[in-house]
Amino acid sequence: MIVCKFGGTSVGTADRLKELARLVNSDEDKIVVLSAMAGTTNALVEIAELLYDKQNDKAISSIQALEQNYYRVVEELYTVSEVKEKAKEMVESHFNYIQAFTEDLFTIHEEKAVLAQGELLSTALFHYYLEELGVPSILISALDFMRIDKDGEPDSYYIKENLSRELKQKKSNEIVITQGFICRNTFGEIDNLKRGGSDYSASLIGVAVAAEEVQIWTDIDGIHNNDPRYVEGTQSIAYLSYDEAAELAYFGAKILHPASIQPSKKAKIPVRLKNTMEPQDEGTLIGLEIKGAGIKSIAAKDSITVIKIKSGRMLLAHGFMRKIFEIFEVYKTSIDMVTTSEVAVSITIDDAQYLDEIVEELEKLGNVEVDKQMSIICIVGNFIDESRGHALEIFSALKEVPIRMISYGGSRHNVSILVETNYKKQALNILNENLFCNV
C-alpha cells in the first residue's frame, strides 16, 4: 500500500483534477489524500473572520462567490449530466451547511467545521470524477478515523483501529480517497491538524496502514538545495535523512509540513516528494539512513522576532536561564535559536502572538530589546566528519552580511544564522555560490 497526498494546486482546477485521475489510475494499492482546492481554505478562513465580526452580509456574498467557483468546476469536470447533477447537489449541500452559520452564534468550533468543507468538497468532486471514468474507488471520510487527543496530538491507536475498520469496505481494486487536514478532537467535534496539515495526515495514515511509502506530490521536483524563489539554478536533492528533512521543513523549505516527518520516521516509512508536473522524476526520497557528508541545502524562515535580555544579575548567577525560559513556556511560545553571553541572552521566536506579555515579564529580569523582521538562514547537511568544520566556508561567504546570531553545534545537521530579512536574498545567493557552485 502506498499513501499519496496531493496539495491544493494539484486539485485546484477541473483540468488538474483530470490530470490527477490519470496519475493515480494504476494497479498499485493506494490511499489518495487530498487537500482543499487551492484558495478554498484561505477563502473559508476569511468567511469565518467575517462571521466572527458579525459582518454576515459580507460573509454571505463571499460564500456565494466561492460556491459559484465550484459550479464552474462541476461544469468543466464532468460530461455525464447525471453526474453533473449529483455533483451540483453535493456542492449545494456543503454551501448550505456553511450558510447556516450566518444565522447562528459563531465560535471556534464552527470555524473548524467551516474550514473542513474545503477538503470534503475536493474529495467528493474527485470521487465522482473517478466514478464517471469507471475507475473503481471508495471515499472514506477522515472524520471517521482521524483524531487528535486533548493536547491536540494525533491519537495513533484510534487512527489505526478506525482506519482499518473503514478499509474493510474497500474492494481489492479500489483506490481509496480521503481528506487531509481534517479530523475530530476528543469531544468528537470537527477539528483540524493546522494549516498545511494534509502532509501530516498522509504521514499518520501511512503509519496506520504500515505503508511501503508516503508520497507527497507538489509542483516542484522535491526539496531543492536552496530556495528557488530567491536563488536561480537550484537543484533537487535526491536523498535526505529524516532529521535533515525535518530541519529543512521547519526552517522554511515550504514543500513539506514540519510535523509530517516525525510519524514516518518513527515507523521507518520512506517519504518521497514528487512533482505532479513531472511524475516520472524521482523527486526527493527521505529515509532513515544518513547518506553523504557536508552541506546539502539552505533554507530561510522569515517573520522571526529576536528578543535580547541583558542583565547584570546574570553574571555568575544560576537559574537565570530557567526564569527566562519559563516565561516562554507560560505563553506557549516556542523558541528557535538561543545565544548567550555572560550578561545577555538573545532568543528568537516565530510566533509573536504573546510578544507584549512576554516582554513585560522579561523586563522584570533585565533590559529587553526586540527586533522584528528577521530571518533565520538554515544550512542543513550531515556534519558528521569531526575533522572538518564548515564554519570557515559559511562565514567567509557571508563576510558582507551583518549577522545577528549564530547557532552552530546544536545538532550535526544544522547551522542557523539570524540576519535582517533585508539581507536574506543576498545571503541565500552568496551561500549558494560559495557552497554549491565552487565545488
Binding residues for ligand ASP (CB under 6 A): 7-8, 35-36, 41, 118, 180-181, 195-198
Q: In the complex, what is the shortest distance from the CB of residue 423 to ligand ASP, in angstroms, rounded to a whole number? A: 30
Hey, is 219 helix, strand or coil?
coil
Sort residue 374 into left (φ over 0), alpha (ψ -120 to 50) or beta: beta
The number of beta carbons lying within 10 Å of the beta carbon of residue 53 is 11
Min dist CB 257 to ligand ASP, Å, is 7
Q: Which residues contact 412 (CB under 8 A, 6 or more apart)?
A: 382, 383, 384
The residue among 38 and 355 lying less far from ligand ASP, judged by its C-beta, is 38
When the beta carbons of 20 and 324 are compared against ligand ASP, the nearer one is 20
Task: Report, in Å, the least distance between residue 230 CB and ligand ASP.
Answer: 23
> Do 359 and 393 touch, CB atoms closer than 8 A?
no
Distance CA 9, CA 76 (A): 17
Residues forming a β-bridge with 188: none
- Single-letter residue type at 221: D
Report d(CA 164, CA 200) in Å as an integer: 18
Q: Which is nearer to ligand ASP, 8 or 366 (CB)?
A: 8
Q: Which is nearer to ligand ASP, 6 or 383 (CB)?
A: 6
399 secondary structure, DSSP code: T
By beta-carbon proximity to ligand ASP, the closer residue of 10 and 346 is 10
Q: What is the spatial distance between Cα 274 and Cα 149, in angstroms, rounded to a whole number? A: 31
Q: If you write DSSP's letter for every residue of 74-122 in order, what string do you get?
A: HHHH--SHHHHHHHHHHHHHHHHHHHHGGGS---HHHHHHHHHHHHHHH
- Dihedral sign, Cα of residue 164, residue 167, residue 169, residue 170: negative
Question: Measured from the CB atom, is 271 or 379 closer to ligand ASP?
Answer: 271
Say which residues have a Cβ less than 8 Å from residue 239's Cβ, sequence separation at least 6. Answer: 284, 285, 286, 287, 291, 292
**C-beta of 7: minimal distance to ligand ASP in Å?**
6
Residue labelled with grid coordinates 516525525: 262
Least Å distance, CB 330 to ligand ASP, is 28
Q: Nearer Cβ to ligand ASP, position 195 or 291?
A: 195
Beta carbon of residue 202, minimum distance to ligand ASP (angstroms, whole number): 9
C-alpha–C-alpha distance, residues 424 and 332, integer Å: 28
CB of 197 to ligand ASP, least distance (A): 5
Q: How far is the CB of 348 from ligand ASP (least distance, A)?
A: 24
- 390 neighbors 312 (Cβ within 8 angstroms): no
Nearer to ligand ASP, 198 or 305 (CB): 198
End-to-end CA distance of the chain: 40
Closest CB 283 distance from ligand ASP, rounded Å: 18
- What is the smallest separation between the CB atom of 342 and ligand ASP, expressed in angstroms? 44
Reduced to 3 DSSP states, what percent helix, strand and coil does the chain have, rounded to the nearest 5? 45, 25, 35
- 7 or 287: CB nearest ligand ASP: 7
- For ligand ASP, the closer of residues 249 and 397 by Cβ is 249
